[in-house]
Amino acid sequence: SLFVVSKVMSQPFFYAAFVFLIQMTTLILLIMDQIPRDDMLIDNLPANVETIVRVTQFFCILIAVLTQEDLREALVLLNQGYNSENMQIAFEHSSQWKWWLSCVLRLLEGATGLLVTFVLIVVVDNVFDLLLNFTAMEFVSQLDNVAFFLATVGYFGSSTMEKSYAVNERTFRLEARGERNHLYHRFLLFAIMCIMYGLWGSIVQEQRSNELLCK
């Protein structure tokens, strides 16, 4: 949000960029740790997984998709489109290119977070580590919300606090769209969930066929 409503090269703009870089760097480090340079993901998968772990993996994937706020909001905003009249009334420094930048970065962060979550879910062979990884990813995904709250209460300068407070307080009316458009982002979210379950199902099949024991 701060990307959209702030002047370029201003303190709130750089603060938003810094938070995004922190999140993306953390996600990249996590996935690099799970996939060594000379290996593939398949080489790091456990060969034997108990049924209780698979059940937990199933529900963790479902929860991960449904609670991935950045990805979900990005799809909603992209489907809604940029309303220059309403945005200019609410935020004088807003512009269309910054709105698109915010949506793309939010979509990138959400998709990367979901990918890392999936990797952390399938590389463990016990429920404790699975839930530990899942909880850690939920924390990383919420870093932007924590940073926004800290900015709102004045931890990172008065200008950042003013912009954050304005985003919290001001509202504008979204354009009415047809029911088909409202269902569009939900369909995409459902498609993402199906892809994740498809990948997970293929991994489970390899584990049950003992193919991973030979690697």
Q: What is the mean pLDDT of residues 18-27?
A: 90
Phi-psi region of 9 (alpha: psi -120 to 50; beta: other; left: phi over 0): left
The C-alpha atoms of residue 94 and residue 5 are separated, in whole angstroms, by 5
Q: What is the mean pLDDT of residues 31-60?
A: 76
Q: Cα–Cα distances in Å, from 50 out to 97, 204, 208, 214?
A: 49, 11, 10, 18
Q: Look up residue 126 and give its DSSP letter.
A: S
Q: Reduced to 3 states, what is the DSSP secondary structure of residue 25? A: helix
The C-alpha atoms of residue 16 and residue 121 are separated, in whole angstroms, by 29
Give me the pLDDT at residue 155, please. 80
**Whole-prediction pTM:** 0.78
Which range (9-18, 36-45, 129-138, 196-205) has the least confidence?
36-45
Q: Give 215 or 35, the one with higher predicted confidence.
A: 35
Q: Give 40 or 103, the one with higher predicted confidence.
A: 103
Kindly report the average pLDDT of the chain as a whole number.
79
Nearest to 163 by CA among 176, 178, 147, 180: 147
Q: Reduced to 3 states, what is the DSSP secondary structure of residue 125? A: coil
Nearest to 143 by CA among 17, 27, 19, 31: 19
Give me the pLDDT at residue 197, please. 93
Give me the pLDDT at residue 136, please. 85
